[in-house]
């Protein structure tokens, strides 16, 4: 397909629309809409500058097929289904008529703009696409109707679009979109379009079958790790066990003697074995005798980092939010609750281990990878090779688990460094041990918090100072301003509760010798645990029921109140439970969505915790695909249960101590609780929901343990030794 002309026919006016949409014709007789989709995160603001850089395309072909190419990636969250739903709704076509394509790698036209955008993360796909994609669908529909009306010489208002056709009721004529697409491309772009009212939605809000499911049940879905360009070799690697260490020397005689091993690649801080298959590569790696220079972090332990964080919370930080005068109100408080909270480093442990396939040639480079951040993958590869980015062709793939891990491109850099020395395409696959020990980790955070209550037990003063890494400061430096970023503080500020004097400070401390990164539910993964545990502590100090205590503080937040009441009612809050069991609640507003969760736990005599049941009530605004919302809440919840029960990465002698799923455990089916999800009907704009379950469930579990045992856990993960009955 080639482009015959670019649309210069757009009228003045409606800057918001003009800035994100252009239309043009395609040579094969079709209509092409180019869109510049904003992202819900702050970096999007850069994308909505004057220059038009499209990052999504809707093509209506002469055959009536609608093909959508978009910048978001599918990593299990159902985006490849819910995004087409938005277009299909306004375009008046069946969802089956919309086909979604990965970013085409070879077409320069598509390539650069697509790679010019940032990433899929922070639960922003639907939030960013909600308005523009529906507007694009409506624009295309209006132009198709106009083309039909012109051909029939009738008033467009007498025509109607339905099921991929335009109908003229008076004469009974109809034409398919395919037959109209070429003409539609020559129609003027409408100044403004009318979007459907929620009451008229036929697709949005109705459970839709996911378009990516069939390939995922029969083994045909292709992930990055499944890429097999002709002649590909397989490599696996050992990186310096201590972050910042270097390769001193390696004896590769035994490795080279392994049948199927082709080459040993030495890098400054890693060694790779290139072989015919992963079996030989692993065997070769095990046969290497490697000596490392451990570097400056050779003696580093988790405790060193924690002491530094603890000390940082005794000094002033950047003020993230200040309401009223917390110090003054604290002085006059009737009672005071003080606590220290801590959350550990966590690995992502995506089921698809890190991998990237690279073919370095004289004229450029091709890479095959599943990435949440295509532009960065391309730039990273180009940087290693000293090439302009456009010389790097990126084939993006399905992602076998993202959770933030694949927003970083260290794996791409590593693979290209290796491939640069290999005279063939090479697929670099990390072992699980390498994946866990050389992850980029959810930061350790340390919170020092004090809250003053009045005589009635209501909070009148809230002081929280926390210390930890700012991932944003590394990943998107312009978004880190005056010691703050929007992610690190989300969930710690702008609470749903009425607290008249409220003060939160953040102290940025980057830990030595361990890289940090985004991890599912990012900032809230820490902040919601702290705030919702503390609110529970306040209820206990005030000798009040945790649900009632929260309810009384929700005067300004009716949507929060509604989900809290719904979750409590569905969970049977207040009904008796056996001894050793308890219910805990959490309530949050993060990622633009309200979520209340009630966890029911059972604590055995030996301190073992079992989560018996979870009830969730969600208000995420307009729901695009309710089945996906349920799936995502269930998923996020189990992700958080894993973190609460098991999640902890520790350092000793500069090395990550955990290695595989035996020492870094995951929740399994026999431990997984039933999870009910109740969705509140709403016509508010959609909120994110892929991450909310994770941040909310951890305090719900911890609060339930308090209800069951009277023991308050202020540090994650749960330590059964603290709960053991003596």
Partner 1 sequence: MAFQLTINGDRHSVDVDGDTQLLWVLRDVLGMTGTKFGCGMALCGACTVHVEGSPVRSCITSVDSIGDSKITTIEAIGQTPAGKKIQEAWLDREVPQCGYCQSGQIMSASALLASNPHPSDSDIEDAMSGNICRCGTYVRIREAIKQAAQSGG
Q: Point out which residues bind partner 1 (CB under 8 A).
A: 75-78, 209-210, 212-223, 225-226, 228, 234, 259-260, 276-280, 282-283, 349-353, 398-403, 429, 431-432, 627, 631-632, 634-639, 641-642, 660-662, 666-670, 672, 674-675
CB closer to partner 1, 78 vs 317: 78
Nearer to partner 1, 31 or 620 (CB): 620
Residue whose tokens read 């809440």: 633
Nearer to partner 1, 587 or 611 (CB): 611
Taking the complex as a whole, how short is the minimal distance between the CB of residue 69 and partner 1, in angstroms?
21
Of residues 317 and 344, the one with the C-beta less far from partner 1: 344
Closest CB to partner 1 among residues 48, 665? 665
CA dist 26 and 715 (Å) reads 59
CB of 85 to partner 1, least distance (A): 14
Both ends of the chain: CA-CA distance in Å?
74
| Nearest distance, CB of residue 404 and partner 1, angstroms | 12
CB of 638 to partner 1, least distance (A): 3
In the sheet that holds 675-679, the strands lie side by side as: 581-590, 593-603, 609-619, 675-679
Closest-CA residue to 583 (of 601, 570, 596):
601
Nearest distance in Å: CB 277, partner 1: 4
Q: Cα separation of 402 and 400, whole Å?
A: 7
| Distance, CA of 393 to CA of 378 (rounded, Å) | 7
Q: Are 381 and 392 in contact (CB under 8 A)?
A: yes
Which two three-digit tokens encode residue 249? 């020397």
CB nearer to partner 1: pick between 396 and 463:
396
Between 91 and 285, whose beta carbon lies closer to partner 1? 285
User: What tokens appear for 156 in the block?
Assistant: 């467009």
- Whose CA is closest to 463, among 531, 524, 550, 395? 531
Contact call for residues 147 and 183 (beta carbons, < 8 A)? yes
Our CB check for partner 1 shows the closer of 323 and 351 to be 351
User: Would residue 364 be called left, alpha or beta, if left means φ above 0 and alpha means ψ between -120 and 50 degrees?
Assistant: left
Find residue 610's DSSP bridge partners: 602
**How many Å apart are CA 124 and CA 136, to the nearest integer?**
18
Distances 565 to 62, 97, 159, 550, 678 between C-alpha atoms, Å: 52, 41, 47, 10, 11
Answer for the pair 416, 346: CB distance below 8 angstroms, yes or no: no
CB of 400 to partner 1, least distance (A): 3
Kind of pairing between the strands at 459-468 and 445-453: antiparallel
Exposure string for 529-545, b = 16+ CB within 10 A, e = fewer: bbbbbbbbbbbbbbebe
> Closer to partner 1 at the Cβ: 275 or 560?
275
Q: Which is nearer to partner 1, 17 or 283 (CB)?
A: 283
Question: In whole angstroms, how close is the CB of 696 to partner 1 at the nearest point?
Answer: 14
């Amino acid at each position: 397909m080639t482009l015959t002309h670019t649309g210069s026919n757009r009228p003045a006016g409606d800057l918001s629309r003009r800035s994100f949409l252009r239309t043009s014709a395609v040579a094969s007789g079709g209509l092409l809409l180019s869109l510049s989709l904003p992202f819900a995160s702050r970096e999007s603001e850069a994308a909505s500058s004057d220059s038009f850089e499209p990052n999504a395309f809707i093509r209506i072909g002469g055959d009536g097929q609608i093909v959508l190419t978009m910048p978001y990636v599918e990593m299990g969250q159902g985006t490849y289904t819910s995004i087409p739903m938005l277009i299909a709704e306004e375009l008046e076509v069946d969802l089956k008529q919309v086909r979604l394509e990965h970013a085409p790698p070879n077409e320069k036209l598509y390539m650069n703009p697509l790679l010019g955008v940032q990433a899929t993360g922070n639960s922003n796909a639907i939030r960013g696409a909600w308005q523009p994609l529906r507007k694009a669908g409506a624009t295309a529909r209006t132009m198709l109707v106009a083309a039909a009306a012109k051909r029939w010489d009738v008033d467009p208002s007498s025509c109607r679009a339905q099921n991929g056709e335009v109908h003229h009721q008076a004469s009974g004529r109809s034409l398919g979109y395919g037959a109209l697409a070429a003409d539609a491309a020559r129609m003027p772009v409408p100044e403004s379009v009318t979007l459907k009212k929620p009451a008229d939605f036929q697709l949005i809000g109705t459970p839709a079958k996911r378009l990516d499911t069939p390939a995922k049940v029969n083994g045909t879905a292709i992930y990055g790790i499944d890429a097999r360009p002709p002649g590909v070799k397989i490599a696996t690697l050992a990186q310096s066990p201590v972050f910042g260490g270097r390769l001193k020397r390696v004896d590769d005689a035994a490795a080279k003697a392994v049948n199927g091993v082709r080459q040993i690649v030495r890098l400054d801080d890693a060694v790779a074995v290139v072989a015919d298959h992963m079996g030989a590569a692993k065997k070769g790696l095990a046969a290497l005798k490697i000596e490392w220079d451990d570097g400056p972090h050779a003696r580093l332990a988790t405790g060193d980092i924690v002491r530094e964080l603890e000390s940082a919370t005794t000094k002033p930080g950047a003020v993230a939010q200040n309401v009223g005068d917390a110090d003054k109100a604290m002085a006059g408080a009737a009672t005071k609750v003080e606590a220290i909270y801590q959350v550990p480093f966590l690995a992502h442990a995506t089921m698809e281990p890190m991998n990237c396939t690279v073919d370095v040639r004289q004229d450029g480079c091709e890479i095959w990878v599943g990435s949440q951040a295509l532009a960065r993958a391309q730039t990273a590869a180009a940087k290693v090779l000293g090439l302009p980015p456009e010389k790097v062709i990126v084939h993006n793939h399905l992602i076998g688990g993202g959770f933030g891990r694949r927003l970083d491109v260290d794996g791409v850099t590593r693979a290209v460094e290796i491939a640069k020395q290999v005279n063939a395409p090479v697929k670099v696959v990390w072992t699980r041990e390498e994946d866990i020990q050389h992850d980029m980790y959810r930061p350790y955070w340390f919170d020092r918090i004090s809250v003053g209550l009045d005589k009635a037990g209501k909070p009148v003063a809230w002081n929280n100072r926390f210390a930890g890494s700012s991932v944003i400061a590394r990943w998107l430096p312009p978004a880190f301003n005056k010691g703050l970023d929007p992610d690190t503080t989300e969930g710690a500020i702008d609470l749903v509760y009425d607290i008249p004097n409220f003060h939160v400070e953040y102290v940025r401390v980057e830990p030595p010798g361990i890289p940090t990164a985004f991890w599912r539910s990012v900032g809230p993964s820490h902040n919601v645990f702290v705030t919702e545990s503390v609110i529970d502590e306040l209820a206990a100090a005030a000798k009040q029921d945790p649900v009632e205590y929260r309810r009384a503080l929700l005067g300004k937040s009716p949507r929060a109140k509604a989900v809290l009441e719904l979750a409590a009612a569905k969970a049977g809050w207040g009904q008796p439970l056996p001894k050793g069991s308890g219910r805990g609640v959490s309530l949050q507003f993060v990622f633009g969505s309200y979520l209340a969760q009630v966890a029911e736990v059972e604590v055995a005599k030996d301190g073992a915790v079992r989560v018996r049941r979870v009830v969730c009530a969600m208000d995420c605004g307009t729901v695009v695909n309710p089945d996906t919302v349920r799936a995502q809440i269930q998923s996020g919840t189990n992700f958080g249960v894993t973190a609460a029960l098991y999640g902890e990465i520790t350092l000793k002698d500069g090395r990550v101590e955990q290695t595989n799923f035996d020492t870094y455990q995951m929740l399994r089916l026999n431990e997984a609780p039933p999870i009910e999800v109740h969705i509140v009907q709403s016509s508010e704009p959609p909120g994110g929901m892929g991450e909310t379950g994770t941040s909310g469930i951890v305090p719900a579990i911890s609060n339930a343990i308090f209800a069951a045992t009277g023991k308050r856990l202020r540090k994650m993960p749960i330590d059964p030794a603290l709960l053991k009955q003596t």
